[in-house]
Amino acid sequence: MSRPILFPEVIESTSGTGRWMVMIFNNEFNSFDEVIGVLMKATGCMAEEAFIEAWEAHTYGKAPCHFAERTECEVVAAMISTIGVRTVVQREWDES
């Protein structure tokens, strides 16, 4: 089964300052192992942290998974999106 190619969505905002973040969203076609693997590869986190982020996305529909400057977040989001997980890059304190 082929997966759709999703590109990260970048939400522009003039409010707030500080770090940017990558938000991942739950879907019905990626396994936990796939999501954990791509999170570890894209963010450099350990398996335990990746599991927690995958669980949060599954349970709550979305989860923040990486915090950094905007360019780094866009690269991370693009890597995660390669397996079909929807991502959004936004300022840390913006609502989405």
pTM of this structure = 0.80
- The CB-side HSE value for 42 (13 A sphere, CA atoms) comes to 30
pLDDT tens, residue by residue, 39-69 = 999 999 999 999 999 999 999 999 999 999 9
- 15 band by pLDDT with thresholds 50, 70 and 90: very low
Domains and CATH numbers, the chain: 19-91 (3.30.1390.10)
Phi-psi category of residue 18: left, alpha or beta, with phi > 0 → left and psi -120 to 50 → alpha: left
**What phi and psi, each to the nearest 5 degrees, are found at residue 67?**
-125, 130
Q: Which residues contact 29 (CB under 8 A, 6 or more apart)?
A: 1, 3, 84
pLDDT tens, residue by residue, 70-96 = 999 999 999 999 999 999 999 988 765
Six-digit token string for 90: 């936004």
Spatial contact of 14 and 80, defined as CB atoms under 8 Å apart: no
